[in-house]
Structure 1
């Protein structure tokens, strides 16, 4: 690439190219559009320590005049005033010009910036030429015939693909997988050679391969085409943060919705609150001016506006109040995503224990108009962490109300009524978790929250009875038979013991998610029991006698302390 003749370029072209080159070198940099409030900042680069580096690009290509010096000083003075008034910490200010600096120039810049509390440097012609050599596509695109080359590259790629698609030969010339590697390398290099704003990644997959979107840094869009057998995906990725402003992507969408249809309601919600929306292909026409010749004009296709990425983490205390204002339950919800529309906003959050997600619809200025709660699968989590969320859900119904408070400021953020609906299942799950926490203490082992979609009614009843026993309650039960051990050779003594009362002690265990937990020693007692007999003889099976209730006598269960060894005198 030949040397750039900066002196022959207009001032606007020089500053435009300088800004693009700096942005390519520092992709995180943000270009500040010229305005009365730009604070003398052309390009702002955030640094990892929270400070900023500022670049001031100037079009000066020959030795500085008095007027040009005055412009530089004014930009610097505006920067100092702007950043100090806003508490911005500047680490470095760089003046960038395609000008060979002189000793006198550097001495002058040092004199006018001597009171700065940040570093100041002047990046002159060597720096600019170095960037131009490193990113020649920027120079080609803006100062030469790069735009035409980009269009020619797209056209030549189409011809290349057609050539391979139409090639044929005998069995010895069969196209193999290894043959495609060189072609794909050439394809990728060609489409990324001329565009200074975006790069393009291409993937070819079987149509049966699940389609997915990658969360790539700088990803602007993905374009997919299918012939029913294979799918080609082209991902358009910004080379620097400001690319979408330098080379914007105009989008025109025409949507047809029948009056009174669900689509019309969804569109109204999007316009009013920014609610995500998906429009089926038969209802939409799209014109999209994508870079790289990938755009479409007046084309049908599914159109979606998805949920934005989480942009904050704001923990708020949420309480359920009864009609008199007394708190019934509370938990913390971390709100992380927000959409906006003409009438209000929607705010999305997740309960801290992972029990549910919540969506709030707010009508400006801050009126709570709609609440949607979606339970989540919290299996495997700590029982104590999910209990507040379950108690919250169990009370989340009319006529109760929701109150949201900023825990740091102590101010109420919102207050609104709750809709109707049954919370019976949640109340039963909440009771199960409370029982399991009791059993966890007795077992002295952590019990992870089970998957309640697979828990049987019998399981919950077993946990409830065991929790009552652990809490010290006496539990009356009906029973049908019990097998008791018989000492070999002592079968005849059973007649002396029965009928009569029966007292047994045994280890009490419960099973949760396929794991057994030992809770301690349990005692069974019944006042009247008898031996099952056959032809007048006790029934003995595997060394055990079968004992049955007498006259419908119930049994009584309670936990007992481990038997103590007798004291020695």
Structure 2
């Protein structure tokens, strides 16, 4: 590569090239755009020990007095700015494509930095030319034909990938084994990454469309369908500020029929920033203009079959959803795992999605900041297979989401503070939800009386009588005693049972068991007292057991008393 003509370059060219090379050396460094408030900083890296500041000057010939004054001014500005921000400076570097003379280094530079309590260094032409040797693509990109060559290389790679679908080419070359492609693919990878100072690229060829999980520094993924395979390009930033030095603008235009579901989705996105997943099958027309690095945008600009705007997977953060009555008394509270908030383009709307910690329901919060309004949508899921105690708080909350109750989202820990959100009329829970809640409540009570690990069964497999029976059993286990009336009863009594005279009372002691999906759950005993009985039928079998049919005598009152097992 020919030497860089630093003397003839425009100041902005020199400063840009050196700044990008510094960011390549230290990927966490940030380039500061020139402004009145830049604090005398061109490139800064924030470290635990303090700021590392590079002040770039385009000066390539012997410094004159005016240029020296500019450097002194910049040095004073950065010290004042750091003090104003309460920060410490660890290192300050003057960077120029000019090596200092002995006099400048020992006399002038040493004098202006003498009272600094941090390291000061003049990094001149020797440093800069060393960086040019390490990152020749930076100079090539900004001063020569690197941009055009990079775009041509990406197009060539796409063409080469499509060549693998050409049966004539393969027939001429003979059988192609996977191992035969390693050298060629490596060469393509190296060529593809030889000229872009801001981004590096990866690619793959697969028989089907593959999922591409997010990776550190990944800024774009482009997947192109060919006649027999999919070509995937992945674009990564070489340093943190690369997207500022070379932005990646993408413009979508989506046309949908008014009042369609697609139009509603797009309106939701524009208002709140909620995720979008659409394709032409949804009755939309989609076009895109993408200025992706290395000319990749040319491969996708135009009509699209579909597109999605969704948040990258992120670690959920915990919160609580609290249900309160009109007086502020807590009715139910559950924990949520929320995804980081999304916003619309102007920041006026916000969308937050999350899931109840046990997966009983999904939550979506849509917030309009200026109006101060919050709309919440909860979508329940089948709780079958979960522990009743885990499910019950969420079902109670869902059952209580009706006027005049209120709800609020509060922090994961600490006081439950925040503005409550009113539930408008005429919201009311469905009858099915209320029955499901009582069904799970009965199972939760049952769990307290047995060491058998109970899971919520599929409620759809229970008829109404079976659900009612379980709910009544749960109430008996909870209260320990239940009084009711009866009309007739048939039972089998042991041979030693003394039958009362007509009109007398009868005590029946039975094992309390419940058949839950083929498992017999032992729950202790139930003592049933019938105040007055009259026998209409009585037969004794060969083992002396008495089969009787009874109806009420003077009273139809019946008392059931539960005697629990000792599960401790």
TM-score by length of 1: 0.77
Contact 2:510 2:526 in 1 (8 A): yes
For the pair 1:371 / 2:376, whether they are aligned, the reply is yes
Tell me the residue number matched to 1:238: 237
Contact 2:323 2:405 in 1 (8 A): no
Range 463-472 or range 212-221, more displaced: 463-472
Q: 1:134 to 1:401 in 2, by over 3 A?
A: same
Q: 1:547 to 1:32 in 2, by over 3 A?
A: farther
How many angstroms apart in 1 are the aligned matches of 2:126 and 2:261?
A: 62
Tell me the residue number matched to 1:490: none
How many angstroms apart in 2 are the aligned matches of 1:347 and 1:156?
A: 41
Tell me the residue number matched to 1:491: none
Range 383-392 or range 225-234, more displaced: 383-392
1:478-536 CA distances to partner (integer Å, 9 max, x unpaired)?
8977678x8xxxxxxx3x6465656446475675x8887665x3234465799998xx7
How many angstroms apart in 2 are the aligned matches of 1:332 and 1:219?
A: 32
How many angstroms apart in 1 are the aligned matches of 2:159 and 2:455?
A: 60
- The match for 2:403 among 363, 388, 398 is 398
- The match for 1:299 among 284, 303, 314 is 303
How many angstroms apart in 2 are the aligned matches of 1:548 and 1:87?
A: 92
- Unmatched tracts of structure 1, length 5 or more: 487-493, 564-569
1:260-282 CA distances to partner (integer Å, 9 max, x unpaired)?
44444444443333343345445
Tell me the residue number matched to 2:287: 285
How many angstroms apart in 2 are the aligned matches of 1:64 and 1:127?
A: 18
- 1:348 partner SS: strand
Q: CA deviation at 1:348?
A: 0.8
Q: CA deviation at 1:337?
A: 0.8
Tell me the residue number matched to 2:200: 199
Tell me the residue number matched to 1:489: none
How many angstroms apart in 2 are the aligned matches of 1:91 and 1:382?
A: 56
- The match for 1:472 among 480, 491, 515 is 480
Tell me the residue number matched to 1:560: 563
Q: 1:168 to 1:433 in 2, by over 3 A?
A: same
Q: 1:149 to 1:356 in 2, by over 3 A?
A: same
For the pair 1:257 / 2:262, whether they are aligned, the reply is no
Tell me the residue number matched to 2:78: 79
- 1:550 partner SS: strand
Q: 1:312 to 1:539 in 2, by over 3 A?
A: closer
Q: 1:408 to 1:505 in 2, by over 3 A?
A: closer
How many angstroms apart in 2 are the aligned matches of 1:327 and 1:537?
A: 58
How many angstroms apart in 2 are the aligned matches of 1:338 and 1:149?
A: 38
How many angstroms apart in 1 are the aligned matches of 2:75 and 2:439?
A: 67
Contact 1:529 1:548 in 2 (8 A): no
Contact 2:403 2:422 in 1 (8 A): no
For the pair 1:347 / 2:346, whether they are aligned, the reply is no
Q: CA deviation at 1:325?
A: 6.1
Contact 2:442 2:475 in 1 (8 A): yes
- The match for 1:418 among 424, 428, 431 is 424
- 1:391 partner SS: helix
How many angstroms apart in 1 are the aligned matches of 2:195 and 2:71?
A: 33
Q: CA deviation at 1:16?
A: 0.8
Q: CA deviation at 1:302?
A: 1.9
Q: 1:286 to 1:554 in 2, by over 3 A?
A: same
For the pair 1:178 / 2:179, whether they are aligned, the reply is yes
Range 288-297 or range 191-200, more displaced: 288-297
Contact 1:462 1:510 in 2 (8 A): no
Q: CA deviation at 1:368?
A: 0.9
How many angstroms apart in 2 are the aligned matches of 1:117 and 1:453?
A: 74
Q: 1:497 to 1:161 in 2, by over 3 A?
A: closer
Tell me the residue number matched to 2:55: 56
How many angstroms apart in 2 are the aligned matches of 1:63 and 1:76?
A: 19
Q: CA deviation at 1:194?
A: 1.6
Q: 1:531 to 1:272 in 2, by over 3 A?
A: closer
Contact 2:323 2:330 in 1 (8 A): yes
How many angstroms apart in 1 are the aligned matches of 2:529 and 2:33?
A: 88
How many angstroms apart in 2 are the aligned matches of 1:442 and 1:102?
A: 90
Pairwise CA RMSD: 4.5
Q: CA deviation at 1:195?
A: 1.8
Q: CA deviation at 1:215?
A: 1.1
How many angstroms apart in 1 are the aligned matches of 2:169 and 2:57?
A: 57
Contact 1:224 1:234 in 2 (8 A): yes
How many angstroms apart in 2 are the aligned matches of 1:84 and 1:549?
A: 96
Tell me the residue number matched to 2:503: none
How many angstroms apart in 2 are the aligned matches of 1:499 and 1:329?
A: 50
Contact 2:7 2:60 in 1 (8 A): yes
Q: 1:10 to 1:160 in 2, by over 3 A?
A: same
- 1:36 partner SS: coil
How many angstroms apart in 1 are the aligned matches of 2:63 and 2:461?
A: 81
1:464-486 CA distances to partner (integer Å, 9 max, x unpaired)?
614632542347698977678x8
Contact 2:332 2:397 in 1 (8 A): yes
- 2:270 partner SS: helix
What are the residue-to-residue correspondences of 1:135-154 with 2, within 5 Å? 135-154=135-154
